[in-house]
Amino acid sequence: MSPRVLKKMAALLLAAGFAAGVSAQEATLRLVSAFAENGIYVQRLQTWIQKFNAEGKGVLQINFIGGPKAIPSFEVGNAVKTGVVDMALNTGAFYTNVMPEADFLKLTRIPVAEQRRNGAFDAINKVWNDKGNMQYLARMVENQPFHIYLNKKIDKPDLAGLKVRITPVYRDFFQALNASVVTTAPGEVYTALERGVVDGYGWPIGGIFDLNWHERTKFRVDPGFYDAEVSLIMNLPAYRRLSEPQRAYLQKQLLALEGENGFWTRYAQEETARQEKAGIQAVKFDAATSKAFVDRAYQVGWAGAEKQSPEIAARFKALFSPSR
Ligand code: 173
């Protein structure tokens, strides 16, 4: 046989072997969470993983490695980018060290189902692929507005003289409200409150009981603003390594996960009631002040986005807003 034919045969053999190997083999993805293991996000994720593994035998499995004790919350994005882990439950605010655009997802004002229809989801993935070496897989939290929680009462939307725990989500807005701010991962909030290092913190409407912050919280400022974005992200090379059946299976389960997001509207109501029962007082403004408060949040949020990444901010703003 001529060397040329031999080479061709070897290539064919290799291709066939590769295809057979990939389709016949079960792959396991390593997943970490930037949020605490006992919190509501991971509780719901665990339920999903159980179903995923039960139905995905022989195709695809997920191995849950752990929460912030395995990888610190603000390092999880880089772990996904570099392939230290395959997948993560994370929020953009925790990986602005990978790309500032990650935090822009708090500004979406349409459901994720609509983001998939109107091109927002693809636009996000273009940026996540190019700048983050990641695939943006699914948003598993929606309709969870952020609030300001305080131990000192305010009677107008002014945080002057107050020190408030933040992440990038809240920085520009709280500073616009005259707060002095300190960034911490969720895992440090309780101690910061206990020691009086902060007078309050930003967090969504749900979840403050998960780490016992209710013990150290007196007021919640209404209304809420933005929408907490908690999503599954994946290392891009790991995503591209999946076989067609594996990717189809993953996609099916991701859409099923998003299909459960109606939960969050109920949860917001339950958590509001639970806070009231725990003695946390709602601070409310009149209608005009409330509207101005929320408008200001978005105005300041987009201004910050435009400053950091003008082109992408403009693209996202058009796609994240309801069409008229
Ligand atoms: O830690 C935070 O306050 C934060 O940025 C966040 C983002 C999404 C969901 C919950 C918290």
What is the 90 CA–ligand 1 centroid distance (Å)? Answer: 9
Residues 156 and 278 occupy one common structural domain: yes
Residues 284 and 208 occupy one common structural domain: yes
Domain-located, residue 15: no
Question: What was the pLDDT predicted at 323?
Answer: 85
Residues 90 and 155 occupy one common structural domain: no
Pairs from 239-248 (Cβ < 8 Å, separation ≥ 24): 239/135, 241/27, 242/27, 242/60, 243/22, 243/23, 243/27, 245/23, 245/59, 246/27, 246/59, 246/60
Nearest residue (by CA) to ligand 1, atom 3, is: 203
Question: What was the pLDDT predicted at 171?
Answer: 98
Q: What is the DSSP letter of 208?
A: T
Nearest atom of ligand 1 to the alpha carbon of 229 = 8
Question: What was the pLDDT predicted at 24?
Answer: 60
pLDDT tens profile 219-239? 999 999 999 999 999 999 999
Query: Which residues form the pocket of ligand 1, taking CB atoms under 6 Å from any ligand atom?
Result: 91, 93, 167, 169, 186, 202-204, 228, 230
Q: Of 266, 320, 313, give the one whose Cα is nearest residue 139.
A: 320
CATH code for the domain of 198: 3.40.190.170
Residues 176 and 313 occupy one common structural domain: yes
What is the 63 CA–ligand 1 centroid distance (Å)? Answer: 24
Question: What was the pLDDT predicted at 111?
Answer: 98
Nearest atom of ligand 1 to the alpha carbon of 189 = 1
Q: What is the DSSP letter of 73?
A: G
Domain-located, residue 21: no
pLDDT tens profile 39-60? 999 999 999 999 999 999 999 9
Question: What was the pLDDT predicted at 197?
Answer: 97
Residues 189 and 277 occupy one common structural domain: yes
What is the 201 CA–ligand 1 centroid distance (Å)? Answer: 10
Domain-located, residue 11: no
Domain count, the chain: 2
Residues 102 and 235 occupy one common structural domain: yes
Residues 232 and 221 occupy one common structural domain: no
pLDDT tens profile 7-20? 444 444 444 334 44
What is the 185 CA–ligand 1 centroid distance (Å)? Answer: 9
Domain-located, residue 1: no
Query: For residues 267 and 204, is the Cβ–Cβ distance under 8 A?
Result: no
Domain coverage including residue 196: 146-226+267-320
Residue 149 backbone zone (phi > 0: left; psi -120 to 50: alpha; other: beta): beta
Assign 3-class secondary structure to 250-264: HHHHHHHHHHCCCHH
ipTM over 0.90: yes
Residues 151 and 221 occupy one common structural domain: yes
Residues 132 and 235 occupy one common structural domain: yes
Give the residues of the chain that fall short of pLDDT 50.
1, 4-23
